[in-house]
Structure 1
Amino acid sequence: MRIVVAACSVDYSGRLTAHLPLAPRVLMRKADGSVLVHSDGGSYKPLNWMTPPCAVTESEPTDDQREQGVREVWTVQNTKSDDRLIISLHEIQADHSFELGVDPGLVKDGVEAHLQKLLAEQIGLLGDGHALVRREYPTAIGPVDILARGDGGHVAVEIKRRGDIDGVEQLTRYLDLLNRDPLLAPVEGVFAAQEIKPQARVLATDRGIRCLVLDYDAMRGIDDVDSRLF
């Protein structure tokens, strides 16, 4: 990755035209060929950019550009379209290159698979007397996250990070199918999530589905719920 801090102006042409007047900015050139123009604000979003496939040409300024203070010109041309980014660099304050190597990618914590594993290990969160039958219980329309056995019969659990109406509809389809199996019926539904939207809770209650809010930190044992003031 090459990072350049410089006073520059930027002109974009292609599907639209845009101009960034002269100002101090950060220019990022990544190994994948992308070029991004950042300011000291606007959070993570660049002011302008060009994504691969593209080619970058560095050239000397014309006489007119040199009179205006331009020291170097980057022309970033998309190789599959007419889109072009022209960056005119004036005063360059820093220019550094770094070899970052291959990035392993983002490892998400608290995804549905983690919640499913923890709830299967702590099946008592469903209530006293519950026992795990199987995770990813197969059906003709897809696997049920958890199938458990309670005092009154079986329990099908659908797990989401954020529970919305689509999740309730999905669990409803599983319940319709599972309750046709005489070896499983009656099958109760539990909609479990870290956060359940009000509309989803209303729909679940209307269909006789129980809602369960999962505390991920408490399930991992890093949050002592008994020591909380609230």
Structure 2
Amino acid sequence: MRLVVAQCSARYTGRLSAHLPLARRLIVVKADGSVLLHSDGGSYKPLNWMSPPCATAVSEPDDAQRERGVSEVWAVQHRKSDDRLEIELHEVFHDSSHDLGVDPGLIKDGVEAHLQELLAAQIGLLGDGHTLVRREYMTAIGPVDILAKDPAGGSVAIEIKRRGDIDGVEQLTRYLELMNRDPHLAPVRGVFAAQEIKPQARVLATDRGIGCLLLDYDAMRGVDDVDSRLF
């Protein structure tokens, strides 16, 4: 992982257009190629980013950029779309690289872990004919909650959350991009499963061909008798 603290500006073009004016920010470049820009606020969310697969090219500024004080230009191009993130670095205050090794992934507890256990035992909630391959299927960037097979024998990767938001869809997207490079698994379809899925997350998942599944925790535990409901 490379960490760069710099006075910089950025422009994102492609499916949407966005601009970050000149300010001091943290730029994170991960081993998978992803590039993220953070401010000293806004919790854990980056101001802008490019998800893999992508490639970064570093170049010298042109005359106009040099006049504005630009010292280096990063062009981050997505390999499967026209999405492009261009970062203009003016002054670099810190630049370091660190080998973090292979992360074992998040060990889940509480409701989320129980939802995973319950869905693995009730894999038919995905639809008739689905079968469980395994829980916590390990990839190079972390474990997929559940790997299953659909009735036609296709692979299904399932990410489980208590509350499904955009970050969860992004996480599943990264898993799918990696897993679909494996000829033993591809093609891999994604399912985003949660007790509650935010509208923005559902729109993003649909746009990326990812299915959404609402999980009724009480019904799955056998606490809620759905047959006796009036509504």
Range into which the TM-score falls when normalised by the shorter chain? 0.5 to 0.7
Alpha carbons of structure 1 residues 168 and 72: separation in structure 2 relative to 1, 3 Å: closer
Query: How many Å apart are 1:169 and its aligned residue?
Result: 3.8
C-alpha distance in structure 2 between counterparts of 1:98 and 1:70, whole Å: 26
Alpha carbons of structure 1 residues 171 and 47: separation in structure 2 relative to 1, 3 Å: closer
Alpha carbons of structure 1 residues 60 and 171: separation in structure 2 relative to 1, 3 Å: closer
Q: Does 1:166 align with 2:216?
A: yes
Query: How many Å apart are 1:166 and its aligned residue?
Result: 2.7
Alpha carbons of structure 1 residues 66 and 77: separation in structure 2 relative to 1, 3 Å: same
C-alpha distance in structure 2 between counterparts of 1:171 and 1:100, whole Å: 38
Structure 1 stretches of at least 4 aligned residues deviating more than 4 Å after TM superposition: 111-115, 161-165
Q: Which residue of 2 aligns with 1:31?
A: 31
C-alpha distance in structure 1 between counterparts of 2:7 and 2:221, whole Å: 56
C-alpha distance in structure 1 between counterparts of 2:113 and 2:22, whole Å: 49
Alpha carbons of structure 1 residues 43 and 67: separation in structure 2 relative to 1, 3 Å: same
- Match of 1:66, SS state, is helix
Q: Does 1:84 align with 2:134?
A: no
Structure (1 or 2) with the larger CA radius of gyration: 1
Query: How many Å apart are 1:110 and its aligned residue?
Result: 3.0
Q: Does 1:2 align with 2:2?
A: yes
| Number of residue pairs matched by the alignment | 139
Q: Which residue of 1 aligns with 2:150?
A: none
Q: Which residue of 1 aligns with 2:94?
A: 94
Let me know the Cα RMSD of the aligned residues.
3.4
Q: Which residue of 2 aligns with 1:107?
A: 107
Please tell me the residue identity of whatever aligns with 2:61: P
Gaps of 5+ in 1: 116-137, 143-160, 173-190, 192-199, 208-230
- Match of 2:110, SS state, is coil
Please tell me the residue identity of whatever aligns with 2:23: A
Gaps of 5+ in 2: 116-120, 126-161, 164-194, 197-214
- Report the TM-score when normalising by structure 2: 0.52
Deviations 1:196-216 (A, max 9, x none): xxxx6xx78x77xxxxxxxxx
Query: How many Å apart are 1:168 and its aligned residue?
Result: 4.1
Deviations 1:1-44 (A, max 9, x none): 00000000001110111111100000000000000010111111
Deviations 1:159-189 (A, max 9, x none): xx999993444466xxxxxxxxxxxxxxxxx
Alpha carbons of structure 1 residues 29 and 167: separation in structure 2 relative to 1, 3 Å: closer
Q: Which residue of 1 aligns with 2:19?
A: 19
C-alpha distance in structure 2 between counterparts of 1:48 and 1:57, whole Å: 18
- Match of 1:64, SS state, is helix
Alpha carbons of structure 1 residues 170 and 99: separation in structure 2 relative to 1, 3 Å: closer
C-alpha distance in structure 2 between counterparts of 1:81 and 1:170, whole Å: 39
- Report the TM-score when normalising by structure 1: 0.52
- Match of 1:104, SS state, is coil
Please tell me the residue identity of whatever aligns with 2:68: Q
Counterparts in 2 of 1:1-230, with a 5 A limit? Answer: 1-111=1-111, 166-170=216-220, 191=223
